[in-house]
Structure 1
Amino acid sequence: MSAWQLGFLFLAGLGGGLTGSVAGLASLVSYPALLAVGLPPVVANVTNTVAMLGTTAGSVAGSRPELVGQGRTLLRLSLLTGVGGAVGGALLLVTPSDTFEVIVPWLIALASLLLVVAPRLRRWAERRAESSGAGRGATPLGPLTLAAAFAVALYGGYFGAAAGVMMLALLSVAWSQSLARSNAAKNVAGGAANVVAAVVFAFVAPVNWVAVAVLGAGLLVGSRTGPAIVRRVPATPLRIAIALAGLGLAVSLWLQA
């Protein structure tokens, strides 16, 4: 890769980390960046999954205060989502590349739409938490919630974009605790799915390791510094701009496919 491509990927990683801080959609920035530097869709997807370990590390490190007291439930949830991530990763590897190229525009469009409605989901979750008097404790997750979490993790292992928003919405609905603690749980549960899928891809998929190193570094820095920066940046215009860009990318890839 040329120097400008490496610099572009690092900046995309920073943007992805910031986007993850805004709405949990880091892949909506990082995956198109990998396509832009010339990686084929499947190679870009597996490379992005491995690079997203940077976001997982940064977001979990930033969520440590909210994770206190959630260990037992999160262990159970993370084991389940880890299996889901592995299944999703395996599904990607056995899916013909032509099929993936047809599916991915619809996944990007879904991620873009979720980015637009994410604030409404969060406000609804906040009102629900307030009305239920949610505190620091968490109620056990039922079988239906666990099955839905497995499905989200499977999707995350297969593609990933918007998996964070999906998991946050699910936990916010099913878990009677504050939104901040549900978001921290989402970082761990979603991270488990991503880690397992990334390990699978690292051994058997065509990962571009140079891109992983540069993009992953940007994602790590962006996810760690994101909360402080996002407080000073208007979130709504940024969110709408990213969503429109994502929809434009989805249309472009759909036409190409």
Structure 2
Amino acid sequence: MSIWEMLAVFAAGIGAGTINTIVGSGTLITFPVLLATGLPPVTATVSNALGLIPGSISGAIGYRAELAGQCRRTLKLGVGALIGGLAGAALLLSLPSTAFETIVPVLVALALVLVILQPRISRAVQRRRERTGTSARPDGGPLLFTGLMLASVYGGYFTAAQGIIYLSLMGMLLDDTMQRLNAVKNVLAAVVNSVAALFFLFVADFDWTAVVLIAVGSAIGGQVGAKVGRRLSPGFLRALIVVVGTAAIVQLLLR
């Protein structure tokens, strides 16, 4: 890897760490850069997953204030993320690299629709709860656990836009603010990246230079993303999710 390629990978790591913390889809920045340096797709995917761990942890630390009071919820959903992430990592090494190409844009598009409609759906659900005298489950119940576990299978396989899927599911099934949900999203992403990376360490090839460059860059980006993301209003954050998600769909379709 030349010095210019190394600088490009480092810069991509910063960008990915920043956007992952705020919204998600940072892999759509790093993955093409790794491919451009000549790494094979699976090696690039594995190197990217390993490198993004510090960024995920950095972003979660940056959102620690929003995680207050969410320990039990985060632990329960984290178990689902761990199971799904491990399954996704195993699928990466057993399925062809094109296995998810058809379904991923559809998943992201559906997630964006849910993000856009989330305020209206939440109001309708709240009115229904008031009529029936029921209250929201603080952990989202089995439906959210299952949905996030399945999203984590995809996250362990490729990771691109998994944060958007997480936010759409939690926004639908949890009665909480976008910023607090974003904090949980960062923890779940850290869990998926970490368990997938530990799996890859023992069974897959990766490029240490790329891993270190992305790791340092994403750790920096995670702090930047937390400082920026925590200042965004719910409406602006939702709009940003839609913009990034739309760009992700376009890139995935053009690959």
Structure 1 and Structure 2 fold alike (TM over 0.5): yes
Report the equivalent of 2:133.
none
Aligned equivalents of 1:62 and 1:115: distance in 2? 25
Counterpart CA distance in 1 for 2:103 and 2:194 is 21
For residue 28 of structure 1, what is the aligned residue in structure 2? 28
Change (3 A) 1:249 1:146: closer
| Closer, same or farther: CA 114–227 of 1 in aligned 2, 3 Å | farther
Shift in Å, 1:150: 0.8
Contact 1:168 1:186 in 2 (8 A): yes
Post-superposition Cα deviations, 1:190-240, rounded to whole Å, max 9, x if no partner, equal 2212211111011211111110100111111112112445769x9979985
Instruction: Tell me the CA shift for residue 249 of structure 1.
Output: 5.9
- Judging changes above 3 Å, is the alpha-carbon distance between structure 1 residues 138 and 58 closer, same or farther for their aligned structure 2 residues? farther
Superposition pairs of residues 214-253 of structure 1, within 5 angstroms: 214-228=213-227, 240=243, 243-244=246-247, 247-248=250-251, 250-251=253-254, 253=255
Alignment of 1:45-124 (within 5 A): 45-95=45-95, 99-100=96-97, 102-103=98-99, 105-106=101-102, 109=105, 113=109, 120=116
What is the RMSD computed on CA atoms of the aligned residues? Answer: 3.2
Superposition deviation, residue 151 in structure 1: 0.2
Letter of the 1:120 partner, please give it: I
Give 1:66 deviation, angstroms. 1.0
Q: What are the equivalent positions in structure 2 for 1:56-205 lying under 5 Å apart? A: 56-95=56-95, 99-100=96-97, 102-103=98-99, 105-106=101-102, 109=105, 113=109, 120=116, 139-205=138-204
1:170-203 per-residue CA deviation (whole Å, 9 max, x = no partner) reads 1111111222111111111222122111110112
Q: Aligned-pair distance for 1:85?
A: 0.5
- Residue identity over aligned pairs, in percent, reads 32
TM-score relative to the length of structure 1: 0.80
Equivalent pair of 2:22/2:228 in contact (CA under 8 Å): no
Structure 2 length-normalised TM: 0.81
Instruction: Tell me the alpha carbon deviations over residues 7-54 of structure 1, each in whole angstroms, 9 at most, x when there is no partner.
Output: 000111111123224421111111111112111111111111111102
Deviations along 1:67-86, one digit per CA (max 9) or x if unpaired, are 11111221121122101100
Q: Secondary structure at the match of 1:35?
A: helix
Residue 39 of structure 1 corresponds to 39
- The code of the aligned residue for 1:184 comes to A
Whether contact under 8 Å (1:52, 1:216) holds in the other structure is yes
Look up the SS of the partner of 2:99 in the other structure. Answer: helix
CA separation of 1:248/1:141 partners in 2, compared to 1, >3 Å: closer, same or farther? closer
Structure 1 runs, 4 residues or longer, greater than 3 Å off: 103-119, 121-133, 227-232, 234-246
Distance 1:110 1:38, change over 3 A: farther
SS at match of 1:60: helix
In structure 1, list runs of 5 or more residues that go unmatched: none
Quick one: structure 1 residues 75 and 239, their matched pair in 2 at CA, closer, same or farther if it must change by over 3 Å? closer
Cα distance per residue 1:120-160 (max 9 Å; x no partner): 26655886799889xxx971331121111110111100111
Q: Report if aligned partners of 1:125, 1:179 keep a CA contact under 8 Å in 2.
A: no
Cα offset, 1:104, TM superposition: 5.2
Cα 1:191/1:154, change in 2 over 3 Å: same
Match of 2:206? 207
Do the aligned partners of residues 7 and 151 (structure 1) sit closer, same or farther apart at CA in structure 2, a change above 3 Å counting? same
